[in-house]
Structure 1
Amino acid sequence: MAGDVLISYLPNEIIEQILETPFLTFKDICNFGTTCSKFRNLVCSSNKLWKSKFQQQWPNLQDVYDSDRSFLWRDEFMHRFRCGWNIRHFITEMSSKFCRKDEVSNCDLVFFDSMMQNHEYAYYFIVNELMSIANDDDPAGNLTEKFYTEKVIRYVRQVHLNKKWQHFLSLPSEELVLEKGAVLVAQWSQPLTEVKYKKIAKQLDDIASAVKTELRKKHSNHPLFRVPPEKLSEWRNKNINDNQWKPSESHQILDALRNVLFTQMGFHGNNEMYYNVESSFLNKVIELRCGIPITLSIVYESIARRLGVKCEPVNFPAHFLLRWQEKYKSEEERSTYYYIDVYNCGHFLTKRDCPHYSPNSQCPMREIKLQPETFVKVVERLANNLEVAGRQRAQGREARLRSTLELMHLVNPADMNCVFHLARFYMLHHMNLGDLVAALKKTQDYLGPREREQAAHIIKMMRVYESHHYSKESESLPDIEPRLRAPGVEYAIGMIMRHLRYDYTCVIYGWDPFCNASQEWIYQMGVDNLPCKDRQPFYNVLVEDGSTRYVAQENLEVAVNPIKINHVDVGRFFKRFCGTHYVPNTEKEEEYPQDADVRVRFLMLPREL
């Protein structure tokens, strides 16, 4: 665990005192070591030695620190050590607190809010420790701890990104470059991935450099090559209010950009899996060179801006395009402009490209007055696309839907349709509504009459839920009631099974001696067509495709070749995969105390290959 470098210096009795003290300060640790000469020597070590030990223990934190500043590395080491211990102490207790909840409410994790205020780099310490738990490849690692660690990572990152979003809103429009908004969406939606803006900006810089190389082949005297680095840096970091070149010179840059981006590098639209969530993540679009109109447009606009060409995002009906004008500040009433269809290899579109255009009839596009979208609106559309894409896949659907709805609410708190769906999600999963009610009441003053009426209705709905449901369920839950073995129940939790009819592999995480579903479900699933009908044991199983099902005993058999089950909820019920079965965690073992003997009995049986 975190602090092994430190702990290796301590005698056993000192280690035991530290591990029994969940909240440690540097002074506390020093007091523990007063009888230990090795520990006193460590405390008195040089700043250089402490820095070395810090970097050895947590190498991923080196980039966080400002290299131009000096630090007391002993204190930094102790802060990071204490942070790691406190996190692990909290994680180990989460299963006993939340094992019967589908989702953990944000109010249950406010412990980390205070932690993030304890140190200048506390957020990075916390993420570093959580990621070390989540990415631990040790076969003996605790799957339950990883399961709850992922929930905490999502929360901590979102608290941090919420503050970053509020900071964005305070900036002047020229500093709100689209790529930063797209990176925030990617970071919010991929909490277990280190999505760094510096890396993405560098990748866009490299593409822009490739475009300059291509441009030089045909137009070596282009004025772009005489632009000083300071000006290029300004274009990189801020929106430009006009093209920096004559129309013909801008055309030359855009021709080179199209050739590099689509012909040489192979960026293209994702026609086969349009609603693949990765197509909405800027880091994945750059990596895979495949995206949807809005993300490809952001890549294109970011590169063009670096080269002094202004492109505006346009939310076209059922599509997303860029608009480029020859002159944005022209005093002429009609400056020539083009739409750029980045999804289709960056083709330029004008009214003459419309299939309905003819010399004797005007194109319908002529009547559509499209204004460029704002930074906020582009991020909002990205979030909306994620919401649609997230509903297409079963694996992790609930967590993904919650995350997307919360992102949509962050970006547009006045969207009552989003608030309504988020409130329904919270109520369906028995979550605390306090923060949502407070946010909605705060927003009411800025809404129109119709939206205020909707907000009042939603608040009333949530208040009714709180008074009749959440308040009772939020009280201390009773102890887990053991499920004792019943006659006829052949299998046990943790056993890996194969479905005889549909040939999928799954793991059992619960059972009923008889079917415990509604009559409507029994009818819809054709249970009455089974030989034993509903008068047989039924099993709750996690399936390898990410779904969760309720299966009759006669449709299951023990898997001859057991495999790991790729399901997001495996860690909720099991702590380890042992090659032949899953070992239940403490809470699941308490719920089914007699199932262990059944698992052992089946494991001892010879397997037919």
Structure 2
Amino acid sequence: METSDAVTLEDLPDELLLSVLSCNSISVWDICRVACTCSRLRNIASTQNLWRQKVQHWPKIWDYLPSSSGITDWQDEVKQILCLDREVKKLVSGLSRRLYQNSHLTTPVYNEVDVMVMSTPYAPLYMKNALRNIIEDGPTHPRKPVALDANQAERQPRPTPPRPNWQRVLPLPGPRTASQRYENLTEKYYALKVMSHVHQGMCQREWHDFLEQPPAKQCLEVGTMLLARWFQPHTDVSIKQMKFAGNSDDYYSLKNSLINEVLSSRKGIPITLSIVYMAVCHRLGIRLEPVNFPSHFLVRWKIPGTTQYKFIDAFDKGRHFTPKEVLAEVPLLINEDERLLSACGPLQVFQRMIRNIMNVAQMQANISDHMELYCPATELMSLLMPSDHSVQELLLRIYYTLEIHYDRIVAGCQQLLKQNPSTILEEMLSDCQQIIKSESDMPKPIIPNSRSTEIAFATGLVMQHKRYNYSCVIFGWDKECKMPADWVRRMGVDHLQYKTKQPFYNVLVHDGSHRYAAQENLSISQEPVPISHSDIGKYFKEFNGVCYLPNDELQQQYPDDATVKNNLLREQGFF
């Protein structure tokens, strides 16, 4: 082709140039570079429909933007998405330095996140997308154990009983290879923390909008989905058509109270199965009403042309009862007023579902599991019952126990004290006010621990307990046992060969617990596997298939452990 016949971008019509820029392979940054070349391309790159199409390339944003979003300047919206993505990454990358010696996010961090949330109408959605990108970058390290079927369990070298996972149902791990690596664990750990806070704020606004509607317009199905979303900040809740049955085998499981899990497993408890039953009948033109009957949730159907009702037990495959038969199911209620069989409103249904979840939380043996579930359940109950003094006070006490949300405790105590005097609330208020004054956003200094020859192991090593056969990873150690005498006596430390006069190690265990193990009870695992624990990322940045690599803060706390760990692994033949 002659040079004079060559076709350049300037020769293409605007419509074709716009079509080229709309291609999936053309990034937002490519469009910005093109726009800098000449005024014509800048005008084409300013087309709103082009930027609207680019937003669709973020499916987790586009799918959740309401159809009535009212967005007219899509180019500016893309700028907001990119700016928040940058700000979120900057925030998360610095949290380990700021919060390493804190158990939870601090008030200054919560405030910083809240400022970002309020920056634009859809900032929470854009922030969740940015946080999800951090969390899903690379292989997902198991945060908590998941239940395995029989075939998968046989392939596990040392199966351990699964620990409940309230916030996220992880995919089952595939066969482990020596090259399997999990990276960027610390940033993922804090991204999950921030996402939980952002998600709860979104859910609170959804619940406020729901509760502002007249009771007659409060849809039971919508509220049930909102309740399921509240307890699953890292899971996209969706509905599928399935068959259903009562879950008698695992009645007291959180999943039985979450509608998406019920729809997925096709098993549930009376209240969730009743909601599904009512939803199906509603679509068939049959009107059913919920009945908040003691001990067993039911629905009722009014017999056409009469004032009589049939009662239906969705848990028992839709079994029908007369009013007399329902009362006879609970002999102590046989002479009670039949008002117990009256219909209830959506709020009563949600409150009962939350109380069920609170009961599940109280059944957990591990206190961290208990509070991890009981706290959000109480938060949602306080949202539904804002005038209930006891619920509001319970929530403040939970915050105080967990050492979080001191600003909320202060505001809540001040509000409750206006209604009723309370010495406990006054003491809690005074204490939290002092904490807020002294709470600094500056990181606390990390004091290095010097090693001695009697310390045989190092942080980051995957270990095996000789007696209880559990897998764990070391994240700290003491030269001697630092626990009080009653703990030493209760744990039988005096029966050990070296008793308390030996190094003790802080370990994260595969069952999700934290333990304090004596050196004589530990040995280096010959088959190191990733430890399924939610706090792995707080201390470690990577699992390299053999051991865990400490993040900067743990490295600063135990500066000499890296050399010792490498030498031990070399002796064991791993290197």
TM range (shorter): 0.7 to 0.9
Percent identity among equivalent residues? 33
Verify the 8 A CA contact 2:396 2:412 in the aligned structure 1.
Answer: no
Of 514, 517, 540, the match for 2:483: 517
Of 584, 596, 599, the match for 2:565: 599
- Cα distance, 1:123 vs structure 2: 2.2
Matched, 1:377 2:354: no
Match of 1:529 in 2: 495
Amino acid at match of 2:117: M
Matches for 1:198-597 after TM superposition, within 5 Å = 199-200=238-239, 203=240, 266-326=243-303, 335-353=307-325, 364=334, 367-370=337-340, 371-393=342-364, 394=366, 396-439=369-412, 441-442=414-415, 452-453=419-420, 456-466=422-432, 471-472=437-438, 476=442, 478-597=444-563
Amino acid at match of 1:413: P
Match of 1:234 in 2: none
**Residue ranges of structure 2 left out of the alignment (5+ in a row):** 1-24, 140-180
Matches for 1:65-84 after TM superposition, within 5 Å = 65=65, 71-84=72-85
- Cα distance, 1:460 vs structure 2: 1.4
- Cα distance, 1:93 vs structure 2: 1.2
Match of 1:191 in 2: 233
Which secondary structure does the structure 1 equivalent of 2:498 belong to?
Answer: coil
Match of 2:61 in 1: 61
Q: How far apart, in 2, do the equivalents of 1:87 and 1:532 lie? A: 49
The Cα offsets for residues 86-114 of structure 1, whole Å up to 9 and x where unpaired, read as 11111111111212221224663232333
Matched, 1:144 2:177: no
The Cα offsets for residues 373-432 of structure 1, whole Å up to 9 and x where unpaired, read as 222221122122122223444485543332222222222234444444433332233224
Closer, same or farther in 2 for the Cα pair 1:555/1:140, shift >3 Å? closer
Q: How far apart, in 1, do the equivalents of 2:289 and 2:322 lie? A: 15
Closer, same or farther in 2 for the Cα pair 1:62/1:471, shift >3 Å? closer
Amino acid at match of 1:160: M
Which secondary structure does the structure 1 equivalent of 2:400 belong to?
Answer: helix
Verify the 8 A CA contact 2:392 2:412 in the aligned structure 1.
Answer: no
TM-score under structure 2 length normalisation: 0.79
Q: How far apart, in 2, do the equivalents of 1:193 and 1:49 lie? A: 31
Verify the 8 A CA contact 1:10 1:39 in the aligned structure 2.
Answer: no
TM-score under structure 1 length normalisation: 0.75
- Cα distance, 1:354 vs structure 2: 5.8
- Cα distance, 1:321 vs structure 2: 1.5
Verify the 8 A CA contact 1:488 1:537 in the aligned structure 2.
Answer: yes
Is the deviation greater in 42-51 or in 285-294? 42-51
Q: How far apart, in 2, do the equivalents of 1:40 and 1:81 lie? A: 25
- Equivalenced residue count is 503
Verify the 8 A CA contact 1:576 1:582 in the aligned structure 2.
Answer: yes
The Cα offsets for residues 242-283 of structure 1, whole Å up to 9 and x where unpaired, read as xxxxxxxxxxxxxxxxxxxxxxx5411111111211111111
The Cα offsets for residues 263-320 of structure 1, whole Å up to 9 and x where unpaired, read as xx54111111112111111111111111111111111122222223222222222221
Q: How far apart, in 2, do the equivalents of 1:566 and 1:4 lie? A: 39
Verify the 8 A CA contact 1:432 1:470 in the aligned structure 2.
Answer: no
Amino acid at match of 1:5: S
CA RMSD of aligned residues (A): 3.2
- Cα distance, 1:7 vs structure 2: 5.0
Verify the 8 A CA contact 2:105 2:404 in the aligned structure 1.
Answer: yes
The Cα offsets for residues 153-212 of structure 1, whole Å up to 9 and x where unpaired, read as 1111111111221222211122111111111111110000112xxx53xx4xxx6xxxxx
**Residue ranges of structure 1 left out of the alignment (5+ in a row):** 12-32, 208-264, 446-451
Verify the 8 A CA contact 1:433 1:462 in the aligned structure 2.
Answer: no
Closer, same or farther in 2 for the Cα pair 1:592/1:421, shift >3 Å? farther
Q: How far apart, in 1, do the equivalents of 2:467 and 2:184 lie? A: 33
Greater helix share, 1 or 2? 1
Amino acid at match of 1:387: M
Amino acid at match of 1:60: K
Amino acid at match of 1:409: S
Match of 1:108 in 2: 109
Closer, same or farther in 2 for the Cα pair 1:417/1:107, shift >3 Å? farther
Verify the 8 A CA contact 2:414 2:429 in the aligned structure 1.
Answer: no
- Cα distance, 1:136 vs structure 2: 2.2
Closer, same or farther in 2 for the Cα pair 1:276/1:442, shift >3 Å? same
Verify the 8 A CA contact 2:382 2:391 in the aligned structure 1.
Answer: yes
Amino acid at match of 1:319: H
The Cα offsets for residues 566-595 of structure 1, whole Å up to 9 and x where unpaired, read as 111111111111111111111111111111
Verify the 8 A CA contact 1:427 1:465 in the aligned structure 2.
Answer: no
Amino acid at match of 2:459: I
Closer, same or farther in 2 for the Cα pair 1:70/1:476, shift >3 Å? closer
Which secondary structure does the structure 1 equivalent of 2:115 belong to?
Answer: helix
Match of 1:175 in 2: 217
Q: How far apart, in 1, do the equivalents of 2:435 and 2:551 lie? A: 28
Which secondary structure does the structure 2 equivalent of 1:410 belong to?
Answer: helix
Verify the 8 A CA contact 1:161 1:184 in the aligned structure 2.
Answer: yes
Which secondary structure does the structure 2 equivalent of 1:369 belong to?
Answer: helix
Verify the 8 A CA contact 1:354 1:363 in the aligned structure 2.
Answer: no
Matches for 1:152-167 after TM superposition, within 5 Å = 152-167=194-209
Match of 1:250 in 2: none
Is the deviation greater in 571-580 or in 133-142? 133-142
